[in-house]
Every structure is written in C-alpha cells, then in structure tokens.
Structure 1
Amino acid sequence: MLDGKELFSVRERVLSFSPEDRARIITERLQKLTSDPFFRSDTVDVVEGESSSDIVAGDLTIMTITDRDASAERKTHQSLARERAATIRAALAEHWSRYETKNIVKNSVYVLLATVVLLALLIVFGRLFPALYRKLDSWRGTKIRTLKIQAFEIINADRIVAALKALAKGCRIFLTLLLFYIYIPLVFSLFPWTHGFGAKLLHYLLAPFSTIGSAVWDSLPNMFFIIAIVLVTHYILKLIRLVFAEIGKGTISIPGFFSEWAEPTFKIVRFLIIAFAAVVAFPYMPGSESPAFKGVSIFLGVLFSLGSTSAVANIVAGVILTYTRAFRIGDRVQIADTMGDVVEKTLLVTRIRTIKNVDITVPNSMVLGSHITNYSSSAQEYGLILHTSVTIGYDAPWKRVHELLVEAARRTEHVLELPEPFVFQTALNDFYVNYELNAYTDQPHKMAKIYSELHQNIQDSFNEAGVEIMSPHYTQLRDGNTATIPEGYRSAGYEPAAIRIRNVGEKKRD
C-alpha cells in the first residue's frame, strides 16, 4: 500500500514470513522512501539472482521476488520483478508529483471552487426550504385539505401540512449531509498531506452501509423463512380467536368449559403460540449466532428473571382466579377489608370500585392469598340473605317482636317476598334478648341502601307498636321517665307516670 492505494498483492510465504508480514514490511519500506526528500523514484532497480530477484532502491531492499511468487502469477521471477519495480516507480513518482508547487496551486484552486459551490448550495437550501415551508402553510385549507369520508375525518389538514414539512426538513438534512459527504473526502484527496485521510474517511463512511447491505443480502433466505413463520402464526391466531369468540358468545359449547373462560384462555394460548413461533424463528434471525446477540439475550433473561418475580406471581394468581371462578366483572365482593364491585380483572391486578366510587387496585397474588366474599354469585338463583340484629328486653313478647321485624323487612324495597324473611333468637343475655332478622334480596349492589332502609323500618315498626328499644346499654328508673318512643308515635295526652313512693311500715300497721 502507498498513500492508501493498493499496488499489488503478496500471496506466498518466504521462510518464516507470512504473506501478511511480507505485505506489511514492504509497505513500511515504501513509506520510509517517501519520507526521504532526496529520494528519486528512478533509483528503483532490479537485482537478478538464480532463483530470486530483489527490488532495491539504493542500499534498501524493498522486496524479494521468489520462484514461488512467480509461479503463483504464472510468470518468471525476472519478469514479475520488472513488473513490480515499474509499479513501485510509478507509485513513487505519482506520490512526489503531488508535492510539486503547480499541483498544489491547482488543487488549491479546485478546493476553492468546491468550497464556493458548497456555500452556494447551502445558501440556496437556506432560502429554498423556508420558502417551501411557508408555501405549505399557505396551502393549508386550500390545496391541502382534510381527508374525510362523508362526515368521518381521516387525517386533519394540519397533520398533513406538518407531515409534509417534516419530510421537507428531512430532505434538507439528507442533502446537506450528502454535500459534506462529497466535499470533505474530495478536499482531503487533493493534497498529499491529507490524501490518506480522505480515503480512510470515505472508507469509514461507506463501511457501515456496505456491512449492513451484505448482512441483509446474506440474510434474505432466512428473512423469507421468518416471514413465512409470521404469516402462518398470524392466520393460526385469527382462527383461534374466531373459535374462542364463538365460545364466549355461547355458539360453541364445550362441557365443563364456561363461556367466561374464553377470553383469558385465548390470551394464554396466544402467548404460547407466539412464544413457540419466536423460538422457531430465533435461529434464522440475523446475528443470532454472534456472541453479542447471545450476551444481550442472556442479560435480558437475567433481568427478566430478577425483576419479574412479583409479576409472574400475579400472572399465575390471575390464571388461578380465572379458572376457579371466584368472581366475575360486576360482582359485589369483599377481599380482605375492601368491599365493592369488580370493574376490571386482568392477569396482573383486580380493580374494585367501592360504594364511595373509590377505585382500589389489588395485585392478584394478594387477592389469591386473601379470603374472598362474593355477594353476587348466588344472589339471582338463591337470593342473598341480609341480616341485622336488634336487642329487646324480656318484657316484650318474643312472638310480637318477630312479627314487627318481619313486617319491617316486608316494607323494605328490594327485599324479596319469597323466600319469606325470618327471625332467629341468637342469645338470651342478662337484660335483653338478641333477635336476628334475615331477609332475601337479589340486588347485592344495593346492600348499603337496603340496610339503611331496613333499619329505618325496624325503628318505625317498633315505635308504632309501642315497643321500646332500650338495650343493650339503656338503664334507668322506669317510674317517672318518658318512654323512649318518639313523641310522634305516642298517644294523645301522654304523660309519664309519677314516681310512686310507698311506706311499707305504715301499710303493716293498717
């Protein structure tokens, strides 16, 4: 090599020197000759030997041509040596001609012209493209209009103009880079001091594109295989989606497979099919055998393993919850201390909306680890039993208390007539009896409202019947106290009884 240009190739080994070593040494000797300002290229000559020829320059031996070198080129070593010597003389003469004053002046003029052309083109770009941007803005609403089908707007005119301006800016950047891509290597190649830099810079710029192009070309057969895998996978997923959609609608019935399982099962099957397709296509991906690709794959695998422990636990819990049918979207549930309606159920989390319209997100692993109370699962078929307790003193007949509680339940909206409400006496305490009222409803989402109305009706029923609710924490002298029934429910002219005091000793004397 001389000045970045290849002169000839060395193919044979000589003694312990490989072809690469010989080529490197010859290149270094040529560079040494070019560093000598008093060297003349016509001093390069050939010294003949019996089985080899030496190419020399004064006292320096540039290279040796052997019979093996000559046979590789199908020539004699004498003719090959004369040919290589002529090539070296021409290259050295061309090298020194670049340092001549007239050539440097001429090349300087070329650089000046190239610089003027570059600046002129940049000025043109600086005026042309802003004018183009303004013209595109002026066309908004006139030549460039919103694309629509009847009343449906597909692409707004503003977005079309923005896209065209972005395209014009991209063209400007590309053309500017192209100009510098041509200008810089050209300038470097015109001067002997920077001639090698121009070739290297050009090589650096072209090498990535050449490598990418070669890789793409070499990978074309594999790319067709990958495309085939993608197409087959796509249509298999479409078929499976159709089947599971019909199962979800109830058109296709499979014994033991519930319709609400269709969507999550499809997602699991889709994931498995895509994972299988990725495994099959992996060996055909460009660069899959390279150490860098394998290293990145292992690194990502380790990151996924370390960082996705909780995510995998939530996914497994989500699958288990789906197939155990613990709840469905819309059910009124209580998970641990959270009560509300299920508004979303994914493989990772479950979202519950409370009666206060507060959305609470619960990880599925926590849901699976907690006890789940579902108020809606049997409400339509069997009815949900709402229950509340009231304590009444022993002075009130228990049958009457039962009647009043059942009557209060029947007055309550959304309480079912059949099955009938019923009462349990759950405890006989020291000062009162504990009565539990049970009533059926098919509206679990209105539990709070039903309970509130039921408690109101219990109060009204007992007040109307004149039965006082004084326990569990009501203690007072009964003589002289006003009854605990509200004033509106008392009889007209009601007055509390006076306190009666009796002298037991005087009664005995009488």
Structure 2
Amino acid sequence: MILDKLGAILLIAALAAISTGSAAQNDTAQAPVNDHPDAKFVTAPVEIDGRILFSVRGVSSLPAGQRAAAIADRIEALARDPAVPADSLQVVESDGYTSIMAGERRVMGVVDADARIEEVSRKTIAIAYRDRIGKAIEDYRRDRRSEVLSSHGLYSAGAAVVLAVVVVLVIWLSRWFNALIERRFRSRVRNLGIQSFEIVRAERIWSGLRAALSALRILVIVVAGFAFLDFVLRGFPWTRGFANRLVEIVIRPLKTMGEGLIAEIPDLVFLVVLVLVVRFFLRLIRLFFEAVARGSVTLAGFEADWAWPTFKIARFAVVAFALVVAYPYIPGSGSEAFKGVSLFLGLVVSLGSSSAISNVIAGLMLTYRRAFKVGDRVKIGDTTGDVTEMRLQVTHLRTFKNEEVTIPNSVILSGQVVNYSSLAAQQGLILHTTVGIGYETPWRQVEAMLLMAAARTPGLLRQPAPFVMHKALGDFCVTYEINAYCNDPMVMNRLYTELHRNILDLFNEYGVQIMTPAYEGDPEQPKLVPKDQWYAAPAVSDRQDGAAQG
C-alpha cells in the first residue's frame, strides 16, 4: 500500500514537471491568464539590440519579464541562423491562442490578453508581431555585417574628432568672451558698484559673471560629450541597449523633477506670495523702527537705542512665523526623509548652539538694562576700552593700545562692568591716585601739595573741588589719595599722566620724599631730584621748547 502511494506521488510530480517545461517552452499559451485588475497592466518589453519590438503580458505560470526574455532569446537564435529567412515567419491559429512559427520552430504564442493591450483582435496583433520580428531579424543580421561595423567605426572616429573640435572651440570662445566682457564692461560694473553705494560690490558682480561663463562652458562640454557617447554606443548592436539605459538614467531624474515641479506649482506660488508679503511687512517694521531711532516717533518709556535690537527681535519673530506657515507647502516636507533630516538638523543646532543662544539672550538683556552703549568707556573684567559695537552675541571694545577685544555677552552679563561715561557728563568722573609719605612730613603739607598738583593739571575740574583722603596709616608711611573730577573719561589716561608729573614736581620742589612703593630704611640724604636737574638731557624745558618752535 505504501509503495502504491509513493508511486502515485512520483507519477504526479513527473507529470507536473513535464507540463511545466512544456508551458515554458510554448510561452504557456494554453495556460490560463491572470486577469486580476492589479495584474492587468503588468507588461515587459521584448528587446533586441536595444530596440523594443513590443510588450507582452505575463501569464499565471510565467511572469511578464521571463516571458519577454524567452521570446527575445528565440528571436536572436533565429537571427543567428542564416538558414531561416526573415520572411518565412507564419501566423498559425490554434484553439485559444495564435502561434508565430518559423518553419517547425515556434517563436511565440499570442493570447487574448496580449490583444487587449492594443485593444485589437488576437490575429491582428499576431500579424503585427510577426512583421516586427521579421524586421528585427533583418536588422540583427545587417548590423553585424563587417561593412556596416566598419562604417560605424569610421563614424565614431569622425565623431571623436568633432567632439575634440567642439571642446577646443568652446574653451577658446569662453576665454575670448571673458576677455571681451572684462575689457568693455568691467568699468561699467565698477560704476554700478559706486552708484549703488556698494550694496552689490563690483568684484562680486564680476565674479558672478565669470562663474556663469564657467558653468555655461562646462554644461556645453558635458552635453557634447554625452551626445558623442550616445552616438557611438548606438552605432554598435552590442552597446545599443546600454545607450538606451544611459539616456534613461539622465532623462528619468529630469523627468521626475519636472513632473514634481509641475505638481508643486500651486504650493510654490503660495510660497512666492508668502515671501512677498513677509518682505513687505518687514519693510514696514524697518521703517517704523528707523523713525524711532531717529526720534521722529517717540514711545513712552522706550529708548531710541532700543530701536534696532527690538527690530531684530520683531524680524526674527516674523520670519519664524512665516517658516511655520510655509513648512507644509515646502516640496517634500511630508516625506519621511525630509522629517528625518529636519529632526537631525534640529538636534545638531540644539546641541551646538547652546552657548550662542545664551550669548544672544545676554546681549538682549544688556541692551534693555542699559549697562552701556556704543561710545562709552567701560571696564569689563581686566579689559578697559571704548565700546565700538554691540551685537547680539558679542561686544567689541577698543583699548587704549588700539586693540580690538571681543567679549561674549554671556561673560559680560555674569561679570562686573564699570562704566566711566554714564555719569561723567552730569556729575563728573573722579580720578584718584595714591602716594606714601613718611610720618615725619606734616599731613597738612602733603594735602596742600596734592591739591596744588591737581590745580596745575589742565582738564581737571575746579568745581567740584578736589579733595584728599588718608587711606591708611602703614608701618613706615601714611598713604594719601588725591581725588579730582573730570567730565571727559576719554582723556582720563592723559589726565592721570599730567597729575603724576605734577605730583613729582611739587614734592621735589618742597623737598618731600615719596616713600612708596617700598621702604627699606632712612637714607642719609632725602632721595630728591634737584630743581636744576629737572630738565637734564635729553629733556627740554617748556621755555626752551617754545623758543625752539618760535
């Protein structure tokens, strides 16, 4: 019993294998066709030497691609057999299908599903297929003749010469045109740069023209090279299919982009309108804040210095809102790739811009806190200088040594700022310096000399009057501090220098020794500079200097 069942199974398997092989050999003409709606348009082209003859459908036991490949193999086999004339093909009708025969050799079978592709009868489409197959056999044999191949080789060599001439000509024309523009129009471009107040610099315009010429030259050479390659590949039957695929590789992206662009035209129009509206609105905001900065428009409690920082905040808010509105209309914004890239960029920006954001916030806080403004003399940390520029992220100082120092706003906000200019004009800035004098010198004499030194210093104010403070009673000397007012912090360094000079002169005049910065012991003679040595060479007295100039 078991042997009988095993024999039956083997018999069924053998019959199935035989029927499958027969179906493959005969294009499964007798096999039922899958008429499922989803499979109705699944076709594959029958291609010989890069030329598409027609397209066929798949059947239930043979997909369209395999069926087309099998038919193409049989046609090439016939074409390679010189004993088979190209006009010997016949159309033979059978029950349920039509066969195209070459003598006793079956080329392909045509079923009703093939006819439905062209919406004609089965016999009509079979006759059309026969004629195309015969033409393909003739072309196959003709293209492989030695004289045809030789002529295509000569044509290819000629095309290579033409390509070389075109490349040389394009390069020569590009250089000639470049020189022509530089010779005739560069001066006009410079004038344009001057007339437009250097909004667009002349050099940038010239660089743009040269870049456009270079891009055009490259484009022409690439197109010429592609045309040459396509011509050569199409001239030989073995490479004609690759030429078709090469064209498809280039055309398909352009076609896809073109179709996508056409489909996105409504969204692009919306984006263009949105950009125009936002630009107009930003211009209105800019005009308003320009008027505030000039003082033409005043707002209660709003300083004119706040106009431009506030404009930048308003501009950022408007642009951010416009981006939110425009995002759904950006082509490809709904794709997963676009979302992934947006998420990645957002993560990178959030991780890499934390310090930048803190500096921006600090810059805004400094602006509205009015800690200082452009032109003030300030001391930030160990740096003293004039504020030359206040930006959202950094503040620029110019030191007394004419050095440009850039300080992050977050550092300024977290540190101490000394502003020498904010109260100088109204209440005056107090300049002060200290000296150490021995206990044997009367303090009243020291105070008088210090006040005289302040009075001799031009630029120090008489009112409020200078005053002297006793800062410390040290181990070996008394520390005195002279304080004098000035109303211009920009000359404080010069005033300090003049004040120190006058202090030295007065103490030398009255024979008082300055004990600081260090004291080791009382010398036999006070360490003074005699008055007759005040102008020792190479120094020149004020009288001698005036006489020399006169």
Note the C-alpha offset of 1:454: 1.5
Single out whichever of 195-204 and 221-230 deviates more from structure 2.
Answer: 195-204
Shift, 1:421, TM fit: 1.0
In structure 1, distance between residues paired with 2:312 and 2:148: 73
Q: Is the 8 A contact 1:422 1:438 kept in 2?
A: yes
Whole-angstrom distance in 2 between the partners of 1:122 and 1:132 = 15
1:321 is aligned to 2:328: no
User: Equivalent residue for 1:272?
Assistant: 317
Alignment correspondent of 2:339: 294
Partner of 1:198: 243
CA distance in 1, matches of 2:401, 2:452: 30
- Structure 1 Cα separation of the partners of residues 51 and 193 of structure 2: 67
State the match for 1:502 in structure 2. Answer: none
Query: 8 Å contact 1:344–1:352 — kept in the other structure?
Result: yes
CA distance in 2, matches of 1:279, 1:164: 36
Q: Is the 8 A contact 2:192 2:202 kept in 1?
A: no
Maintained 8 Å contact 2:508/2:531: no
The answer on 1:405 being equivalent to 2:470 is no
Of residues 97, 109, 127 in structure 2, which corresponds to 1:53? 97
Q: Distance in 2 between matches of 1:65 and 1:173?
A: 52
- The CA distance in 2 between the partners of 1:258 and 1:161, in whole Å, is 43
State the alpha-carbon separation in 2 of the partners of residues 454 and 157 from structure 1. Answer: 53
Equivalents in 2 of 1:471, 1:189: separation in Å? 99
TM-score by length of 1: 0.80
If each structure's helix is expressed as a fraction of its own residues, which one has the higher value?
2
Cα distance change, pair 249–158 in 1 and its aligned pair in 2 (3 A): closer
Moved more, 98-107 or 363-372: 98-107
What CA deviation, in whole Å up to 9, does each residue of 1:111-164 have, x standing for no partner? 5346425524643663586378458748975x6673275995899999999988
1:380 correspondence with 2:425: yes
8 Å contact kept, 1:26–1:63 = no
Three-state SS of the structure 2 residue aligned to 1:98 is helix
- Is structure 2 residue 531 aligned with structure 1 residue 488? yes
- Cα offsets for 1:390-448 (capped at 9, x unmatched): 23344444333333222221221221111111122233445443322211112222222
Alignment partners' CA distance in 1, 2:347 and 2:295? 43
Q: Is the 8 A contact 2:309 2:367 kept in 1?
A: yes
CA displacement at 1:59 relative to structure 2: 7.3
Do the aligned residues in 2 keep the contact of 1:318 with 1:365 (CA within 8 Å)? Answer: yes
The answer to whether the Cα contact below 8 Å between 2:91 and 2:99 also exists between their aligned partners in 1 is: yes
CA–CA separation in structure 2 for the residues paired with 1:477 and 1:197: 106
- In structure 2, do the counterparts of structure 1 residues 295 and 473 end up closer, same or farther at CA, with 3 Å as the change threshold? closer
Match among 263, 267, 283 for residue 222 of structure 1? 267
Three-state SS of the structure 2 residue aligned to 1:200 is helix
The 2-side partners of 1:332 and 1:373 are apart by: 9
Opposite residue 126 of structure 1, the aligned amino acid is V
Count of residues in correspondence between the two structures: 475
Q: Which runs of 5+ in 1 are unaligned?
A: 491-510
| 2:427 equivalent to 1:427 | no
8 Å Cα contact 2:143/2:236 also seen in 1: no
Match of 1:191, SS?
coil
Give SS of 2:468's match.
Answer: strand
What is the aligned counterpart of 1:95 among 113, 127, 136? Answer: 136
In 1: Cα distance, 2:206 partner to 2:433 partner:
68
Equivalent residue runs for 1:434-449 within 5 Å: 434-449=479-494
CA distance in 2, matches of 1:374, 1:161: 47
* 1:197, distance to aligned residue in structure 2 (A): 1.8
Instruction: Give the CA deviation at 1:488.
Output: 1.9
For the 8 Å contact 1:144–1:161, the answer to whether it is kept is no
Which residue does the alignment assign to 1:249? 294
Secondary structure (helix, strand or coil) at the match of 1:126 reads helix
The verdict on how the C-alpha distance between 1:73 and 1:310 changes in structure 2, with shifts beyond 3 A counting, is same
How far residue 165 of structure 1 moved from its aligned partner, in angstroms, is 7.8
Q: Distance in 1 between matches of 2:208 and 2:192?
A: 23
Distance 1:414 1:166, change over 3 A: closer
8 A contact 1:233–1:277 mirrored in 2: yes
CA gap of 1:83–1:347, structure 2 versus 1, over 3 A, is: same
Q: Is the 8 A contact 1:44 1:85 kept in 2?
A: no
- Structure 1 304/473 Cα, relative in aligned 2: closer, same or farther at 3 Å? closer
Deviations 1:359-410 (A, max 9, x none): 2222222222221112222111211112222233444443333332222212
8 Å contact kept, 1:334–1:374: yes
Tell me the distance in 1 between the aligned counterparts of 2:480 and 2:307.
46
Q: For residue 226 of structure 1, report the CA deviation from its aligned partner.
A: 0.7
Shift in Å at residue 212 of structure 1? Answer: 1.9
CA distance in 1, matches of 2:250, 2:516: 94
| Greater Cα offset, 214-223 or 360-369 | 360-369
Residue of structure 2 in register with 1:86 after alignment: 127
Residue among 147, 151, 157 paired with 1:109: 151
CA gap of 1:313–1:471, structure 2 versus 1, over 3 A, is closer
Summarize the Cα distance change of 1:102–1:191 in structure 2 as closer, same or farther, 3 Å threshold.
closer
Give the whole-Å Cα distance in 1 for the aligned partners of 2:489 and 2:361.
Answer: 29
Q: Indicate how the Cα distance of structure 1 residues 25 and 330 shifts in structure 2: closer, same or farther if over 3 A, else same.
A: same
The aligned amino acid for 1:438 is: N
Using the TM superposition, give the Cα deviation of residue 87 of structure 1 relative to its aligned residue in structure 2, in angstroms: 3.1
Asked whether the equivalents of residues 246 and 252 of structure 1 are also in contact (C-alpha less than 8 Å), the reply is: yes
Decide whether the 8 Å contact of 2:450 with 2:503 is kept in 1: yes
Please give the secondary structure, in 2, of the residue aligned with 1:386: strand
Q: Tell me, what secondary structure is at the counterpart of 2:375?
A: coil
Query: For 1:178-201, what per-residue CA distance to the aligned partner results, in whole angstroms no more than 9, with x for missing partners?
Result: 344334333433433223222212
**Which amino acid letter does the alignment assign opposite residue 83 of structure 1?**
T
For 1:123, the equivalent position in structure 2 comes to: 165
State the superposition RMSD in angstroms: 3.8
* TM-superposed deviation, 1:273: 1.5
Which runs of no fewer than 5 residues in structure 2 stay unpaired? 1-44, 534-550
